[in-house]
Amino acid sequence: MRQRLAILRALFAVALLSFAATARAQDGIAACVEAASEVEACLGHAYNACLGTLPPPEDDDPMFTWKENDRFCWAAETAQWDALLNRTYGDLISGIGTTFPDAPEQLRRAQRAWIVFRDAECAWPSAFLRQNDLHNVEIACTAELTAERVARLVHMGAFIP
């Protein structure tokens, strides 16, 4: 019984620490963007924070572990930019029509075109680099383009009264 309690306590502590780390990491990009003068200066912010929390490679294949860590942290970075993009886009599209009635539909079209572009752009360098067995370039590219898109929407919003 005591042993079971100790295990439960340890699990709870791990969950709590993990939750706190995730919350800190999730604040990362949004807080950085709010403080930075250039949105894209925050690219890599969550990735670097994430890498710092992961244990260094210890197994027989450190390159494999490094790639796994790299992929995991780029996924964390991309998820944060994606959340910020959704929020920025949502705010812009709900406000832009008041002053410019045609703009919401044009913005929707531009956003759809951007998604097609992002997917095509990030697929093709990946095809090249796959020859060198560097699989994570596609997800890093997605993070970079999403950051660039956030910057453009923020810039667009700044000129709308």
Partner 1 sequence: MIRALIAALTVLSVSGTGADAASEVLLEADTVITCVDEEPDIQTCVPAPLCDPSWAFFHRQACAEAAAAAVNATLIHFRARLLPLLDQLDAALDGGFAAAEATAHDAWLTYRDANCNVDRSTSLDTIGADEARDTCYVQHGIRRLAVIRGDIDRFAFKLAAD
Least CB distance to partner 1 at residue 151 (A): 10
Residue 55 gets which letter from DSSP? Answer: P
Interface map 142-161 toward partner 1 (x if CB under 8 A): ------x---x---x--xxx
Q: In a 10 Å sphere around its CB, with 0-12 CB exposed, 13-18 middle and 19+ buried, how is residue 156 labelled?
A: middle
Between CA 42 and CA 17 the distance in angstroms is 25
Which residues ranging from 72 to 131 are in contact with partner 1 (CB under 8 A)? 96, 99-100, 102-103, 106-107, 109-110, 112-114, 116-117, 119-121, 123-125, 127-128, 131
Comparing CB distances to partner 1, the nearer of 3 and 37 is: 37
Comparing CB distances to partner 1, the nearer of 22 and 94 is: 94
Amino acid at 154: V
Which residues ranging from 40 to 79 are in contact with partner 1 (CB under 8 A)? none
Residue 19 gets which letter from DSSP? Answer: H
Chain-centre distance for alpha carbon 134: 19
Comparing CB distances to partner 1, the nearer of 8 and 113 is: 113
**Dihedral pair phi/psi, residue 143, rounded to 5°:** -60, -45
* Binding-site size, partner 1 (CB under 8 A): 29
The answer to whether the Cα torsion of 22, 24, 30, 32 is positive or negative is negative
Between CA 57 and CA 22 the distance in angstroms is 21
Comparing CB distances to partner 1, the nearer of 82 and 121 is: 121
Contact residues toward partner 1 (CB under 8 A) are 96, 99-100, 102-103, 106-107, 109-110, 112-114, 116-117, 119-121, 123-125, 127-128, 131, 148, 152, 156, 159-161
